[in-house]
Amino acid sequence: MALTVRYRQETKMAETQITEQQVVATYKSLRSEVRQMGEKIAELEIETTEHDRVIQTLNELPNDRKAYRMVGGVLVERTVQEVLPAVTANRDGIAQVLAQLSESIKQKEASADEWQVRCSLI
């Protein structure tokens, strides 16, 4: 059975014939993307916490002490003075990605909610 869905497309009103299965599949797809983004955000928050712990530990050590860092799958020996800026930069990069993902998930949730209302799935 076909379901008529009416929604505003930018400047004009459009009427589209889509099946109930397509409506539900689109909604499930949007919710799946939101869930995946949420999982990625949780993963990045854990990484940020780990980086913070490493930075805190390195700040307590003398600058000339040996420190080991994984670079491209290879463990390299450096000093605390060399490793600390790199770890801090990595943490800052993760924080930026986290902020972008947080904004994206809000937009995706709004899109899914809009689709739910538009197609009367509530």
Q: Look up the domain containing 25 and give its range.
A: 2-118
- Torsion over CA: 25, 30, 34, 39 (sign): positive
DSSP per position, 26-60: HHHHHHHHHHHHHHHHHHHHHHHHHHHHHHHHHHT
Say if residues 118 and 5 touch (Cβ distance below 8 Å): yes
Here the CATH number for the domain that contains residue 26 is: 1.10.287.370
pTM value > 0.85: no
Among 86, 68, 64, which Cα is nearest to 78's? 68
- d(CA 122, CA 71) in angstroms, rounded, equals 50
How many domains does the chain contain in total?
Answer: 1
**pLDDT over 60 (residue 6):** no
pLDDT digits (tens, 9 = 90+) for 24-38: 888 899 999 999 999
pLDDT of amino acid 121: 66
Q: Has residue 117 got a pLDDT over 90?
A: no
> CB within 8 A of 45, min separation 6: which ones?
98
Average pLDDT on 98-121 reads 89
Sorting pLDDT into bands at 50, 70 and 90, what band is 10?
very low
> Cβ–Cβ contacts within 10 Å for residue 94, how many?
17
